[in-house]
């Protein structure tokens, strides 16, 4: 009887025990196999780790920390322009019809390269004038030769020889003028087609604008091509008169562009205006920039930090986008591996127009994250938040 009771108790409680164990396994195993749901892992070195699949979407770019002369400066706004010393507008000297277009916008051209072929009735008259002048010269030369021969035989007076020489010199001047007129039209004296001429580029550069259209009538008042050497560009900024008197030609300006975040360009102040605009009370300041990698375009807006007075000691600077505030401290992110970034606290100094002065925490030559730093900041805040929650 006791054995029967024991068997019944075992049969009743055994399934309950197994069910509880199964539930414990079901609760334990997923926890052991699951990966962290975040895309970061804090390390003891105050760093974050970004998953490779997310890292591809962050589009992170880095830049070297720089050291440059400090001192006072002014942040000025301006617009990029072509270098007027290497710029040309090409148009016809007379009304003409566009026959053939030989250069496209954005195309690099050499000095003397053909841009467009034009057709003009006026060119026929210019060629006729040249032919007539050439014929008169040949006649005057023959007359002079005959007069000289007759004068040698004392048949004609020396005065007639002198008159013939004057006629030759006048005819030569007419030929030169007619030839120059042909060359001004882009035509040569030996060209067979009397109605067409070619416009050529006066400089080497890039076609930044073309208004010529096949078959249109070209007006001498309107250029058909605008050509500029884009290797060096001018940035014109406006400085208030109180700052302009302290700007010195030859100073090094730091320039940033909204279209190129995280990139800083160095320029040289080449001109400080000599007249104050009565409306804005500002003075134009020209900064010349090297167009590295061809990234800059005329017309781009820019912000320039221009030094005022004498330069001070060297300072460490980083692009504004590289500096991020996490909780109560300023940080920069330093790559420490393919997917690891150190969060380095730094001392923030002055705003230098597109750049920030760093008082402590960084040395020149170190690599920092620029583009993508804001997204890394979001991951850092998430990491710190989860760390406090777990604690």
Q: Locate tokens 């890292």: which residue?
A: 55
Averaging pLDDT over each range in 119-123, 220-224, 225-229, 382-386, which range is the top one? 225-229
Distant-in-sequence, close-in-space partners of 78: CB < 8 Å, separation ≥ 6: 235, 236, 237, 238, 285, 287, 301, 302, 303, 304
Report pLDDT for 108: 94
Of 273, 286, 270, 268, whose CA–CA distance to 241 is shortest? 273
The dihedrals phi and psi of 232, each to the nearest 5 degrees, come to: -135, 135
Q: Where do the domains of the chain lie? A: 47-69+315-390, 73-82+230-312, 86-115+200-229, 121-194
Flag whether pLDDT at 41 surpasses 50.
Answer: no
pLDDT in tens, 83-109: 999 999 999 888 889 999 999 999 999
Q: What is the length of the chain?
A: 391
DSSP letter for 50, please: -
pLDDT in tens, 326-367: 888 899 999 888 788 888 999 998 777 678 888 889 988 899
224 token code pair:
């058909």
**CATH superfamily, region 73-82+230-312:** Efflux pump adaptor protein, beta barrel domain (2.40.30.170)
Does the structural domain 47-69+315-390 have CATH classification 2.40.420.20?
Answer: yes
Flag whether pLDDT at 30 surpasses 60.
Answer: no
Report pLDDT for 232: 95
- Determine the CATH number of domain 121-194: 1.10.287.470
Distant-in-sequence, close-in-space partners of 65: CB < 8 Å, separation ≥ 6: 316, 317, 318, 358, 362, 363, 364, 365, 366, 367, 368
Q: What is the fold of 86-115+200-229?
A: OB fold (Dihydrolipoamide Acetyltransferase, E2P) (2.40.50)
Flag whether pLDDT at 4 surpasses 80.
Answer: no
Flag whether pLDDT at 262 surpasses 50.
Answer: yes
pLDDT in tens, 356-365: 888 889 988 8
Helix 121-152 vs helix 158-184: angle between axes, to the nearest 10 degrees? 160
Contact 322, 369 (CB under 8 A): yes
Q: What is the average pLDDT value for the chain, to the nearest integer?
A: 81
11 token code pair:
């049969």
């Amino acid at each position: 009887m006791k054995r029967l009771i024991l068997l019944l108790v075992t049969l009743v409680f055994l399934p309950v025990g197994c069910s509880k164990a199964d539930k414990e396994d079901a609760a334990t195993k997923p926890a052991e196999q699951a990966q962290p749901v975040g895309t970061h892992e804090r390390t003891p070195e105050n760093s974050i780790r970004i998953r490779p699949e997310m890292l591809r979407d962050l589009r992170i770019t880095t830049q070297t920390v720089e050291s440059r002369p400090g001192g006072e400066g002014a942040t000025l706004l301006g617009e990029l322009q072509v270098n007027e010393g290497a710029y040309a507008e090409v148009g016809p000297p007379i009304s003409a019809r566009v026959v053939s277009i030989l250069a496209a916008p954005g195309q690099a051209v050499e000095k003397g390269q053909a841009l467009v072929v034009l057709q003009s009735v006026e060119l026929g008259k210019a060629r006729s004038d040249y032919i007539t002048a050439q014929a008169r010269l040949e006649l005057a030369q023959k007359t002079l030769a005959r007069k000289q021969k007759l004068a040698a035989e004392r048949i004609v007076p020396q005065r007639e020889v002198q008159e013939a020489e004057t006629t030759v010199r006048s005819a030569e001047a007419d030929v030169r003028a007619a030839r120059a007129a042909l060359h001004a039209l882009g035509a040569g004296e030996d060209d067979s087609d009397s109605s067409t001429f070619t416009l050529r580029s006066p400089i080497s550069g890039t076609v930044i604008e073309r208004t010529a259209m096949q078959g249109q009538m070209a007006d001498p008042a309107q250029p058909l091509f605008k050509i500029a050497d884009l290797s060096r560009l001018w940035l014109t900024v406006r400085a208030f008169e109180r700052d302009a008197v302290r700007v010195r030609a030859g100073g090094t300006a730091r320039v940033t562009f909204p279209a190129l975040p995280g990139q800083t360009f160095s320029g040289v102040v080449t001109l400080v205006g000599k007249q104050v605009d009565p409306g804005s009370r500002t003075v134009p300041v020209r900064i010349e920039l090297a167009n590295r990698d061809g990234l800059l375009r005329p017309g781009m807006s820019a912000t320039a930090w221009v030094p005022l007075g004498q330069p001070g000691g060297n300072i460490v600077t980083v692009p504004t986008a590289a500096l991020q505030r996490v909780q109560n401290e300023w940080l920069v992110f330093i790559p420490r591996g393919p997917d690891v970034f150190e969060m380095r606290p730094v001392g923030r100094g002055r705003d230098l127009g597109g750049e920030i002065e760093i008082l402590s925490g960084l040395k020149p030559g170190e690599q920092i994250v620029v583009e993508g730093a804001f997204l890394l900041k979001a991951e850092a805040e998430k990491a710190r938040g989860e760390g406090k929650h777990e604690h």
